[in-house]
Amino acid sequence: MALFRFPAGAGVCAFVTLVSLAGCGDQATVLAPTAATIGRDRLAQPAEINPGTEHAGGPTLTLYNSDFRHTAHGGYTLDPATFVELEVVAGEPVEVNWFGRFRGGAKLRSYRWTLDIVDYTDETPRIDEATDLSHWSIPSPTTTSAAVGPFAAGEQHLFYVEVTDTNGYRSLAVVHMTVVAVATEGVRIRH
């Protein structure tokens, strides 16, 4: 009869391996197939997203200037209830600044903006970056502000900013500008 000698600890490793393959107690379903289905909400996220992190609705996007500050908490909607309502004074240019915050291990890919675009899905490039404001600007990670106007009293304008992260998620924020002849007691902001 031959005797086999195992190195120290090998017996423990063999035991642990057997237990993990067989399961514990009466948990017969640990290795057995089940009839349960996985719902769409439990499907894996895109491969670029780091496991174990949250990524709900895209990056947050904060728009601001000396008169307002608004943070859109991720996602892409054109619901007027989500627009920032801003009164601007006729004859004065309006500057809007922005920055994004990213989730799920993502980083900034780019920002872009437009004013009074007819179809926000229109990807026609601008003829001139300085004057063709009704098309999306060139996507850039360094474009973090824009100046528009001046406008005439009674006009209304929609200013859009989009941010895209390295996971491919996009968020949109919209400022609805109402041009007034004289500043009222304060800037009217709805958000």
In-domain check, residue 74: yes
In-domain check, residue 44: no
In-domain check, residue 110: yes
Q: Which two tokens stand for residue 190?
A: 């709805």
In-domain check, residue 154: yes
In-domain check, residue 15: no
Task: Find out whether 75 and 58 touch, Cβ atoms under 8 Å.
Answer: yes
* Structural domains in the chain (count): 1
Residue carrying structure tokens 């009839």: 35
Confidence (pLDDT) at 74 = 80
Confidence (pLDDT) at 184 = 65
In-domain check, residue 121: yes
Confidence (pLDDT) at 105 = 85
- The domain of 175 spans 60-180
Confidence (pLDDT) at 8 = 58
Q: What is the mean pLDDT of each run of 10 residues along the chain (191 residues)?
A: 54 50 46 39 37 58 92 86 92 95 90 95 92 95 96 95 93 94 59 44
Confidence (pLDDT) at 104 = 80
Confidence (pLDDT) at 44 = 34
Confidence (pLDDT) at 111 = 97
The sheet carrying 94-101 orders its strands as: 69-72, 60-64, 94-101, 145-148
In-domain check, residue 137: yes
> Which CATH number belongs to the domain containing residue 171 in this structure?
2.60.40.10
Buried b (16+ CB within 10 A) or exposed e, 106-140: bebbbbbbbbebeeeeeeeeeeeeeeebebbbeee
Rounded to whole angstroms, the Cα distance separating 16 from 45 reads 33
What percent of the chain clears pLDDT 70, i.e. is strictly above it?
65
Q: CB burial class (10 A; 0-12, 13-18, 19+) of residue 163?
A: buried
